[in-house]
Amino acid sequence: MKHSIQEPKLFKGIKLALGTAAFALILLTTSCGDDDSAVVSADSIVEIAAETDNLSSLVAALNRFPDLVNALSDENGSFTIFAPTNASFSALLEATGQTSLDNVPDAVLRRVLEYHVVSGSELVSTALTDGATATTVLGEDITVGVDGSDVTINSVAVATADVEASNGIVHILDGILVPSLESSILNTVVEPAYFNKDFTILTEAVVTAGLLNTLIDSDANFTVFAPTNDAFEAAGITSLEGLTANDLTPILQYHVLDSEVKQADLPATGSAVTTLNGDFYLSINSDGVFINGLTEVTATDIDQDNGVVHVINRTLIPADEDIVEIAVAASEASDAEFGQLVAALTAVENDEMAADLITVLKGDGPFTVFAPTDAAFQALYDKVPDSDDDGDNDITDLVAAAGGLDVIATVLQYHVYSGRVFSKDIPNLLDGNASVSISAVAGGSWTLNSDLTITDTDGALSLGTSNAAIVGTDILATNGVIHTIDQVILP
């Protein structure tokens, strides 16, 4: 179990003390009767905090929010501030796995600060009674505890009471007051992301999707693969604006397993891992652990009470289209690609004498398709005569040169491997060698080289093609994966 920040365990009540060495130059008195009077400091709350070495972390936190500084500097204001010491902030950072307040998101830090401020009242220690409550600027109540001379706020000890400012009262605390939301998140799989500004998109997405209560369930046991803000951008998600819970839920569930799996317990390379929304696929090689080819696991085994968190550098997007659907959609996009591949597949599918490749590639698979670009097909067309003399070399001319669509079908099948091979699986296939032979789904083989080029045989058409280079990788389909190549490979 990780270190806890539950307040009763971390912060024990101590004897109420009036004054510290830091306030030796400030005259403090507490009203004890009608004849007593207090000499109020000419300094505002902010000025007193700035003059107190033990509150430098509080000052640094406040300085992130000029409007709060201005409010607490207002001489016409009336505030009660419960001021955590530097050690208190350090304890919070340690408990949440952070190394600096700079790591904490502004929204979270502001909530914590506002939970330490009561506006409109100056609550002196002698007026505090056991069980009394006060509403903070955050809108959430704090609870006073009094036991003899011991005073606590939410079970956090008051170390120095009644530091009087020109615009209020400061009570120095021996701990941090944690709002109820943040308290519910502590020690759960949400904590590492919630308290770190590098994961603000993930946190927003979890809240928008309505998954927060699920992920902070203390009785659950999860593994979360947590994408950073940069990971969302790498996957093409630069903003959550316009995205609904229905949009985000399937993506987020694709990052969560319903059991705890540490790095050492991950299944072997090539394995499918079942998430709350389908399977993703592991590739493990000497460079690390990868998911679906493009996503690297960059930090592991962040242990929490209800599971474990691993950090990833690219958000996982579950596939919702098969190989054929992906190719067709790409051919119809504004920056169209794979149009020639779709045309060739359609021509073969419609020929009664040729294999039904579209039907095959819409099947369960899994398949790995090495898909030539439109430019790759055009380069091949330009190697054959213009059989119909229309001044435009195209698939018609290739069919004529090949002697029929059955040969084209063989060429297309030569680009399909039976099995799911991501780019990060290739080092394992090579196993330290310069090349490896890859068998096509319908027979025949070609050579995959360590520089990610492909050497074909070019026996069927003898057109003198060059090695194909893999120029795009890991387009995930429901029934396999697509890699893009810059030459048509020929059997």
pLDDT tens-digit readout, 174-187: 999 999 999 999 99
Mean pLDDT of 79-88: 98
Burial 200-211 (b: 16+ CB within 10 A, else e): bbbbbbbebbeb
Q: Is the pLDDT of residue 249 over 80?
A: yes
Residue 456 has pLDDT above 70, yes or no: yes
DSSP summary character for residue 205? H
CA angle 376, 381, 382 (to 5 degrees): 100
Dump pLDDT digits (tens) for 351-403.
Answer: 887 788 999 999 999 999 999 999 999 998 888 888 877 878 888 888 888 88
Give me the residue label for tokens 């099947």. 363
Share above pLDDT 70 across residues of the chain, in percent, rounded to a whole number = 90
Residue 50: which H helix or E strand, with range? helix 45-50
Check whether 426 has a pLDDT greater than 80: yes
Q: 220 pLDDT band (50/70/90 cuts)?
A: very high
Give the H or E element holding residue 368.
strand 367-372
* pLDDT for position 15: 29
Q: Report the distance separating Cα 342 and Cα 329, nearest Å.
A: 10
Mean per-residue pLDDT over the chain, rounded: 90
- How many residues appear in the chain? 491
Predicted pLDDT at 23: 36
Q: How many CB atoms lie within 10 A of CB 240?
A: 17
Q: What's at 290, amino acid-wise? A: F
User: Residue 219 has what pLDDT?
Assistant: 96
Residue 29 has pLDDT above 80, yes or no: no
Say if pTM beats, i.e. exceeds, 0.85: yes
Hey, how many other C-beta atoms are within 10 angstroms of the C-beta on 24?
Answer: 8
- Strand extents, DSSP E, 132-287: 133-135, 141-147, 150-153, 156-165, 168-173, 222-227, 256-257, 272-275, 278-285
Quick check: 39 pLDDT over 70?
no
Nearest to 109 by CA among 96, 120, 122: 96
Among 315, 165, 110, residue whose Cα is nearest residue 231:
315
Question: For 50-59, 132-141, 234-243, 456-465, which range has the lowest pLDDT when averaged over its residues?
Answer: 456-465
At residue 383, the 3 state secondary structure works out as coil
- Provide the H-helix boundaries in 403-464: 405-413, 426-430
